């Protein structure tokens, strides 16, 4: 199909000449002219296919995430081999349908639910715990009176 503003087809611009179907594909009888016209008619009706949108797939939400008091957070940075893919557990402060507000290493931040996994732990074990940068928890030292 020639470009109207350039007066050349895309094949002519790329290859320097128009695309041609070799004559050996068509017999020399009188019916070949009608076949060529049929092919041209079909080729004129070619249209690009409609684009498909693949981004509307539902994301997986682990069961129990909507009621979990603590969650693990997937680490999306470059990690060393055999390192933990998740950090935490972190306390859930607030929920929305697409994100959770978490207590992260002394600060609070909103995190999308696709990065979260529920932590099935006893909340009383983590009430006074603090978390290091790697996500491991450490308890504050208590001084005992002797």
Asked, for residue 116, whether it belongs to a domain, the answer is yes
Instruction: Spell out the residues 6+ positions from residue 72 whose beta carbon is closer than 8 angstroms to its own.
Output: 86, 87, 88, 89, 90, 116, 117, 118, 119, 135
Number of domains in the chain: 2
Asked, for residue 113, whether it belongs to a domain, the answer is yes
CATH of the domain at 85: 2.30.30.10
Asked, for residue 23, whether it belongs to a domain, the answer is yes
Same domain, 80 and 33: no
Q: Note the pLDDT tens digit of each residue in 97-128.
A: 899 999 988 899 999 999 999 998 875 655 54
Domain that holds residue 27: 10-44
Q: Does the reported pTM lie above 0.75? A: no
β 137-138/99-104 pair status: unpaired
Q: Note the pLDDT tens digit of each residue in 39-73.
A: 888 888 888 888 877 776 677 888 999 999 999 99
Both tokens of residue 118?
A: 């529920």
- The 10 Å CB-count burial string (b at 16+, else e) for 111-130 is bebeebbbbeeeeeebeeee
């Amino acid at each position: 199909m020639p470009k109207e503003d350039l007066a050349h087809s895309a094949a002519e611009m790329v290859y320097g000449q128009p695309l041609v179907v070799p004559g050996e594909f068509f017999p020399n009888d009188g019916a070949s002219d009608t076949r060529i016209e049929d092919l041209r008619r079909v080729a004129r009706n070619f249209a690009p296919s409609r684009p498909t949108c693949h981004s509307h797939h539902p994301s997986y939400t682990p069961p129990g995430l909507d009621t979990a008091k603590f969650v693990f957070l997937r680490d999306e940075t470059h990690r060393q081999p055999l390192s933990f893919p998740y950090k935490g557990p972190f306390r859930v402060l607030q929920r929305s349908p697409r994100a959770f507000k978490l207590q992260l290493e002394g600060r609070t931040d909103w995190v999308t639910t696709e990065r979260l996994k529920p932590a099935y732990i006893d909340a009383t074990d983590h009430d006074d715990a603090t978390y290091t940068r790697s996500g491991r928890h450490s308890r504050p030292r208590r001084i005992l009176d002797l």
